[in-house]
Structure 1
Amino acid sequence: MYINETKVVVRYAETDKMGIVHHSNYYIYFEEARTQFIKKTGISYSQMEKDGIMFPLVESNCRYLQGAKYEDKLLIKTWIKELTPVKAKFNYSVIRENDQKEIAKGSTLHAFVNNNFKIINLKKNHTELFEKLQSLI
């Protein structure tokens, strides 16, 4: 299984009055980590879109275990948990680098759709891309 690692440093603007990262920012971290995951495997979102494949988010969740603070260095581990011809589920583990504690974990579920947002079967319509994603599990 391929696991990508993306590093993020918490910016001041991402914290709230309590001095911890606002919960909504974890989804931004997940998006950055997923984008880096895709890039590092030789796949590009922009090329997928040019090929008529959209990858909308249809479900997300995050469990917050501990708070991150300004200037904390975070490591986001990302992997594909589940893949079918019509959807992919990514899992994320957010680790604070200075103490190696997992501070959050989550997942996002994405559908494969065409430009009209109709579900497509990636295995049938874009076999090479499906096989590339499948090889990462």
Structure 2
Amino acid sequence: MKCIQIFLLTIILLKIAWEDARTRHIRGRWILLYGVLGIWNEWMEKGIDLGESVAGFLSVSSVLVLVNLLRPGSFGGGDIKLTAVAGTVLGWERNFAAFAMAMWLSGIFCAVMLATRRMTRKSTIPLGPFLCAGILGETMSGLLTSGASTMG
């Protein structure tokens, strides 16, 4: 059962990444579906710590909202909602780790694109694919460190 849940979470994250890469828009229904399935998955695994979920919800998304207030258009609404829902599922520490991984991956991508002159310093990129990679990486990391790698 756990294996099926992880597979579905992965498919949803891939859909979000693909959609954002193509259209630069993340539909709320995919974020909601990820949230419902992710929370269900966490609840089945170990129960939900409400304080951890609230802290996770506010952690990265609050930072993104603040950055957007200081520099409008820095992050899209879908990116902010995705980090909020991911924080609810992952908790604040793992959400920050997922966000750090996303920033690292997007930085490498931008460096390569700048070096090959396929983008300029004024170019923008969709952040969704990198956020999804970070969230997926942290989800898989959580499975391995929790001893749940025998997904039965």
Structure 1 length-normalised TM: 0.29
Structure 2 length-normalised TM: 0.27
Q: Which protein is richer in helix relative to its size?
A: 2
